[in-house]
């Protein structure tokens, strides 16, 4: 029993000592206050930023190159342009043939509408004379200066140029004759004719007359004259 008492006393003593030491530590910490820890100072230095390097000035171009590029190029003188003119060789240049009025002696023996127009059954002279007398353009051409009251030869294997007319064979007369011959029966177009035929445009005295032909020919020859062929 005595040993237990002694051990209990020692344990109580140790416990009291421990508590006292803890209490003493707490009191000491409250008295001294919290400890302040000063941070270490940081050294700061002000440094001006470096300026970017300035661009190098451009090198001056050589004087000769500058003058060459600055001076305008001399403009070439325009070449004169010649107007294109179609020319024909001398042997192809058309030569107008005038058709002067024929005399009564030259018309002697010529076939007329009353004589049968060549002796065939078609009597193409009468056929043509009737058509031309009804054509107003033909009548106007017959009254034109240089044609009125004359006996004009308008075809002799080719259509002839009439004085005062730009075309050949009095263009209105030529077209009317070719139209009438072209629509005539084939037998009439193929009918042979000898010498001249004369067509009177009116029955009045001094009427304009048209003469055509010469030698041996056919009415179809009027449709294939050199002037009417394509060149």
Residue carrying structure tokens 């030491």: 21
Do the domain assignments include residue 2? no
Per-residue pLDDT, averaged over 20-43, amounts to: 62
Domain count, the chain: 1
Do the domain assignments include residue 28? no
Do the domain assignments include residue 212? yes
pLDDT of residue 47: 54
Q: What is the DSSP string of 93-128?
A: S----B-PBPPHHHHTT-B-TTTTSSSSSS-HHHHH
Q: What is the pLDDT of residues 113-131, one digit of tens each?
A: 988 655 457 899 999 999 9
Q: 28-59 in b/e burial notation, b at 16+ Cβ within 10 A?
A: eeeeeeeeeeeeeeeeeeeeeeeeeeeeeeee
Residue carrying structure tokens 């009417």: 228
> Which helix (H) or strand (E) element contains residue 136?
helix 136-142
The single-letter DSSP state of residue 146 is T
Of 85 and 165, the structure prediction assigns the larger pLDDT to 165
pLDDT of residue 96: 41
Do the domain assignments include residue 69? no
The single-letter DSSP state of residue 71 is S
Asked if residues 159 and 228 have their Cβ atoms less than 8 Å apart, the reply is yes
Q: Domain range spanning residue 205?
A: 104-228
């Amino acid at each position: 029993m005595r040993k237990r008492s002694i051990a209990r006393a020692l344990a109580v003593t140790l416990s009291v000592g421990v508590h006292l030491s803890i209490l003493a530590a707490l009191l000491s910490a409250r008295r001294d206050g919290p400890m302040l820890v000063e941070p270490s100072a940081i050294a700061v230095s002000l440094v001006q930023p470096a300026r970017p390097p300035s661009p190098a000035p451009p090198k001056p171009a050589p004087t000769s190159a500058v003058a060459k590029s600055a001076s305008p190029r001399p403009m070439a003188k325009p070449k004169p342009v010649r107007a294109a003119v179609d020319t024909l060789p001398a042997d192809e240049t058309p030569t107008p043939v005038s058709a002067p009025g024929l005399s009564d002696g030259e018309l002697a023996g010529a076939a007329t509408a009353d004589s049968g127009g060549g002796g065939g059954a078609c009597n193409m002279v009468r056929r043509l004379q009737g058509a031309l007398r009804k054509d107003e353009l033909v009548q106007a051409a017959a009254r034109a200066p240089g044609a009125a009251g004359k006996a004009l030869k308008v075809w002799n294997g080719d259509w002839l140029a009439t004085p005062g007319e730009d075309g050949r064979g009095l263009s209105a007369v030529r077209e009317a004759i070719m139209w009438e011959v072209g629509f005539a029966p084939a037998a009439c177009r193929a009918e042979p004719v000898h010498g001249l035929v004369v067509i009177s445009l009116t029955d009045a005295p001094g009427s304009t007359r048209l003469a055509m032909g010469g030698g041996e020919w056919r009415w179809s020859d009027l449709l294939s004259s050199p002037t009417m062929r394509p060149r």
